[in-house]
Structure 1
């Protein structure tokens, strides 16, 4: 276990409240741990005010420059009146702080519930919000945050699993299968042509969108990076092909009101889904020495898990061979 993975052991209730109070707030001793594994997140009660959300960053993952750049992006979106939950800034304009070696940020509490992606009216609204977001995201690139690419999400993820995690009885099957998947990923990227990479949220699943007052509020830009616009759209699609096309049509009807979507990016949906699958297993593997992970994901790294993973990847191989979705 590395020093980086030990860092969260400091996060006692007293430590969390001391960190928040170091920025001039007065805690009322209410402290609730929220569901988060990559970082650690707490709802902290504040005297005579609404609670704050304190987010403590995993040491060694993002540099200070990368975190600040993420903050600046969400603050830029908020300045354009987009419904994002941006970090709190102190009077000096700072949003990233340190307390005894741990980096942290503070956010206003935002209520809401997960959006209903089955509701086409909701998808129309989400499309409009994402179109506005991407119009701003395309103005300039990130300087410090990474790009979603096949090397980091695909090849490096597969190499880690092959070298350290795949059971011997599945190594040959996993190696042959992932070789084919990586080849198809590269072919899919090439077939899409000249891809426009912009600043995106990067992780637009339902847990990172809070629906309130008939509108979405985007939270947790921790995975924000340079990527094709479709990265923020494809996770909202589900079900049979006809259903996905209807959902996509609703999303893009709203999206294109504010920013032009390149239909060539539809070729990337299954490519990006495959990269996410490969990256997710590698993410669990990289964090397996964090004591929170075996508790939260007890099924990972078992023989049964890898058998099921190979079946899912074979299904994804078939999905990569299907023609891309087409607009109505």
Structure 2
């Protein structure tokens, strides 16, 4: 197993110093007190800073080489579009010159307001309905124009490219490589077949429960949608299954509740439900490639010590094969379109799909 090429990232990103973080906030015309707390984030470097007026802001330093300036600015523009439609999202603050993206010591950064609220451990039906309606409104805005620079949720980006990287860098043990490659290519085949004719548009892309903040004022409930860093063009169902990833009967029911509420604002093509299986498989493949590409980041070997072991790849291969078998061989009397589930299926949790999931 080999790591990324030496020098792919500069140490300035790995070892970001507090004085650089404070300067980034001052560039926004704000006055920090010096209180600076690093927040959990594997992909970027994110800090909570207290200002002299007692309020807080968040500064995000983008991982080098992941997005172009144009791709980051398109994310910001999408957030402002959503805000203009009264959709509760967290959008970046503007610098004095009106821009939202700056660079300091070669690192690009954005300053954000700190959004109040808390993460929801479990979602009630009324909350699921609220989220479904908000997703309908988000997707209406997303479908109003095409993305100019962001990725499309397709087999190339989320299966074939990660597979190629894993093979080229020899992360996979030779004994498991043929099986793993066969499973990936089968997932690609299924996705290509089942996605024919399915509409796509701009979506959140990484819409799991950790990217929602819940607040309640008297009888009013609301959710803020956070972290559109992975926003892309894809099928609407991607944002549903990630919020309710379980494969048991309750997971199916939760998705149905959200989709029913979604339809009060936007139509939903039920054929999309057949994509959940291949999209689950893509999530496994993409995350394996994501960790591999960042293996030279000192945080990754510490956070994922199991990654790259024979045991890890055996489990990954078995999980992929099992997911694909469940698509290929639904039980007698069972549909393959996510409307039913098998009693013998092993229940998958958030930790199975979100490697950085805590809780």
TM-score (norm 1): 0.94
Matches within 5 A, 1:139-178: 139-163=144-168, 164-178=170-184
Aligned-residue offset at 1:240: 4.6
CA distance in structure 2 between the aligned counterparts of 1:15 and 1:186, rounded to whole angstroms = 46
CA distance in 1, matches of 2:266, 2:285: 30
Aligned to 1:200: 203
The 8 Å contact of residues 202 and 221 in structure 1, kept in 2 or not, is answered as yes
**1:9 to 1:172, Cα distance in 2 relative to 1, 3 A:** closer
Cα-to-partner distance string for 1:228-275 (whole Å, 9 max, x where unaligned): 111111112244543233212210121111111111211111111111
Instruction: State whether structure 2 residue 266 is matched by structure 1 residue 232.
Output: no
Q: Partner residue of 1:302? A: 309
Task: Choose the corresponding residue for 1:72, options 69, 77, 102.
Answer: 77
- Pairs within 5 Å for 1:165-314: 165-189=171-195, 193-213=196-216, 214-314=221-321
> Which stretch shows the higher mean deviation, 179-188 or 227-236?
179-188
**Count of aligned pairs between the two proteins:** 324
Do the aligned residues in 1 keep the contact of 2:27 with 2:95 (CA within 8 Å)?
A: no
Distance 1:215 1:29, change over 3 A: same
Structure 2: distance between partners of 1:68 and 1:30: 28
Aligned equivalent of 1:106, options 89, 102, 111: 111
Question: Hey, what does 2:338 align to over in structure 1?
Answer: 325
Unaligned runs of 5+ in 1: none
What SS does the corresponding residue of 1:236 show, helix, strand or coil?
Answer: coil
TM-align CA RMSD: 1.7
Give the whole-Å Cα distance in 2 for the aligned partners of 1:145 and 1:174: 28
- Distance (whole Å) between structure 2 residues aligned to residue 23 and residue 30 of structure 1: 17
Runs of 5+ consecutive residues of structure 2 not aligned to the other structure: 1-5, 331-335, 341-359
Provide the secondary structure at the position in 1 that maps to 2:237: helix
Q: TM-score by structure 2 length?
A: 0.86
Displacement, 1:169? 2.8
The 3 A distance-change label for structure 1 pair 145 and 176 is: closer
Per-residue CA shift, 1:255-313, capped at 9, x if unaligned? Answer: 11111111121111111111111100000001101111111111111121111111211
Kept in 1: contact 2:29–2:96 (CA 8 A): no
Which protein is richer in helix relative to its size?
1
Paired residues for 1:126-145 under 5 Å: 126-145=131-150
Q: Distance in 2 between matches of 1:236 and 1:242?
A: 15
